[in-house]
Structure 1
């Protein structure tokens, strides 16, 4: 268990959509960066605020009962675009995290078991964080994240 106010590092992306901080966690090549860029671009097209906080290495801290995410100093304002490389993007220096999206692979579903939208909680820095386990290969990733954001807003 992590004590309050101690920094925990996570291999994830952090972004702000509307007023909610969101973590996207997954292994290398899981699609965190591409999904982050798509979510930010779609929100902006709708006239909503959206911005990257950090790509790949995120510092997390419990500050007075809020989970705060900050980018690693070495990659602030940078995101990796497959096939292009590292590019500069606008970023926020921190966000209050309201949810975690865990990008899973199809191997985790077992034979004959369809991918499902599951809502769970995970303790991060001593705080319970709503978690969406998301199967990325079914083509409904952004729809499911939109539903998850609606759920988070209703809490």
Structure 2
């Protein structure tokens, strides 16, 4: 399939074991806070607040606009410096605006540039950081996103 023009999203992105996590949500939903929590576990920042997503073959690649690269907002503290990766192949997305109604949800996907990216609905989940790291590490036991 022909590659499509990249899209600029309001979101953050970190990478864990070379597997990118796209964090989506409205302003104030906790995107930067979740990224900082994941970074405390060892994830690497790709970008905060704005993320370019491009399609390369069957992969979605996340990059940060150069003007904000290496910066992450800590609400109530300020803008913090962080060593940022230049890009990451996306493996998972989390939507902090939507809560998951099901205990064991169906496989959810986010369609980006013609590719279905596994999606977790994460609003209101306090334990989300370690859950997402385990998902990125080993996928779902039922085979989704492994």
- TM bin, normalised by shorter chain, reads 0.7 to 0.9
Counterpart in the other structure of 2:118: 130
Counterpart in the other structure of 2:25: 26
- For structure 2, the 5+ residue unaligned runs are none
Q: Which protein is richer in helix relative to its size? A: 1
| 1:107-134 per-position Cα deviation (integer Å, ceiling 9, x unaligned) | x67xxxx575644011101111111111
Partner SS for 1:10? strand
Residues 33 and 80 in structure 1, CA contact (< 8 A), matched pair in contact too: yes
Post-superposition shift, 1:84? 1.4
How many residue pairs match? The answer is 140
Could you state the TM-score of these two structures normalised by the residue count of structure 1? 0.80
Alignment partners' CA distance in 2, 1:21 and 1:152: 16
Q: Within the alignment, does 1:121 sit opposite 2:121 as a pair?
A: no
Could you state the TM-score of these two structures normalised by the residue count of structure 2? 0.84
Post-superposition shift, 1:147? 4.3
Q: Output aligned runs, 1:71-150, within 5 Å.
A: 71-104=64-97, 116=103, 118=105, 119-135=107-123, 137-149=124-136, 150=138
Counterpart in the other structure of 1:66: 59
